[in-house]
Amino acid sequence: MMEKQPKEPKGGYIPTRSMFIAKSTLRCLQILFAVLALGLTGSISFGTNIGVVLPFIVVSPCVLLTLIWTIIELLAIKVQDHHRGLPPPAVLSMDLICWLALVGCNAGLAVLGMTSDLRDVITYQWSLEYRQGRLQPWELEEVRDVAYRALAVVAFVSILTALHVSTFSIACYETHMRNREPKPPAPAQQTILVVQNGNGPPTMLGPATAVASGGQVVYQVAAPAPGQQQPGQVYYVPVQAVPVAGVTQTAVQQVQPEYTGVRQHQAVPAVPLIQMAGKKE
């Protein structure tokens, strides 16, 4: 069985192997901590007797957004040629949104904590209806269990935020490297001569190789707009006159850089640009 040959790069920034490993590791860690944060938040809201829903409302949308985005980017890194992933500007924008949303998520958890009636991290609660004097011992244990889970959620969300800041920094670096790449040069244009011999077809000659004789008329060949080309027709526009081999001729810019050699074209009606004004001395 023949081994699959790696594809040749198509140009553009290509991440190194170490960069690929770093990004893949960070994305896997992001998925891990996002799942842990969602699981703990769900256990606080639906797995306890006091059934506090606010943490789930605050945390789950932000963490779920980051989880979906991370899975998409990780799949793109695995699938794209040379592990490019999605375009760096898109990664930069999405990771920025993710870590800002997670910062807001932790801020929301902090606000909930500060408005707690008990104001105690050990007996942390998410509702004002509970009073310390009215709590039974088993209820106090339940509140403390919720408090510990909530602190774990804050810790996981903080770690998830740091991970997204890391991938955001990598995306900034890759965007910078991509912008530093030299732009592809424009196709080099070549000066050629187009000579009309009487009523015959115009002849396209190479640069500085044609010596026009009396009665020849020089034109410029110009390509029409895409979609407006008609087979068998040649288009002409004027250019400046330059001396070649003692005879005044008209130089033209080749609009087809791949042209080489001498070609014949069908003659079409065209107004002469310059009648030969000078002759060989």
Domain ranges for the chain: 17-180, 184-275
Pick the more confident residue, 156 or 133: 156
Q: Is the pLDDT of residue 143 over 60?
A: yes
180 DSSP β-pair partners: none
What's the DSSP call for residue 233?
A: -
Predicted pLDDT of residue 29:
95
pLDDT value at position 121? 43
Residue 215 has pLDDT above 50, yes or no: no
Residue with tokens 């891990």: 32
| More confident of the two residues 3 and 40 | 40
* Predicted TM-score of the model (pTM): 0.54
pLDDT tens digits along 255-280:
333 333 333 333 333 333 333 333 33
Running DSSP on this structure, what letter comes out for residue 250? E
pLDDT score of 177: 81
Residue 120's pLDDT is: 45
69-73, 142-146, 172-176, 258-262 — which is least confidently predicted? 258-262
pLDDT at site 60: 85
Pick from 229, 251, 247: nearest CA to 239: 251
Q: Which two tokens stand for residue 2?
A: 């023949």
**Max CA distance (Å), the chain:** 119
For residues 72 and 60, give the distance between their C-alpha atoms in angstroms, rounded to a whole number. 18
Quote the tokens at residue 73.
């980017």
Q: What angle do CA 27, 33, 39 make, to 5 degrees?
A: 135
**Backbone φ/ψ region at 101: left (φ over 0), alpha (ψ -120 to 50), beta:** alpha
Give the closest residue to 196 by CA, choosing from 275, 259, 281, 278. 275
Average the pLDDT over 118-132 and give the result: 45
Spatial CB neighbours of 200, under 8 Å, sequence gap ≥ 6:
267
pLDDT of 64-104, one tens digit each?
999 999 999 999 888 876 677 788 888 889 999 999 999 98
Of residues 41 and 266, the one with the higher pLDDT is: 41
pLDDT at 84: 72
| Alpha-carbon distances, residue 22 vs 5, 29, 170 (angstroms) | 25, 11, 9
Per residue in 223-256, pLDDT (tens digit) is 444 555 555 554 444 444 444 444 334 444 333 3
Q: What backbone phi and psi angles, to 5 degrees, belong to 266?
A: -65, 140
Inter-residue contact 183 to 164 (CB < 8 Å): no
Task: Supply the pLDDT for residue 202.
Answer: 54
CA distances from 66 to 9, 108, 185 (A): 30, 17, 40
pLDDT at 100: 92
Given this model, what pLDDT does residue 169 score?
Answer: 92
pLDDT score of 178 more than 90: no
**Residues 97-119: what's their mean pLDDT?**
73
Measured between its terminal Cα atoms, the distance across the chain in Å is 73
Residue 152 pLDDT more than 70?
yes
CA angle 86, 89, 90 (to 5 degrees): 50
**What helix, strand, coil percent values describe the chain, rounded to 5?**
45, 10, 45
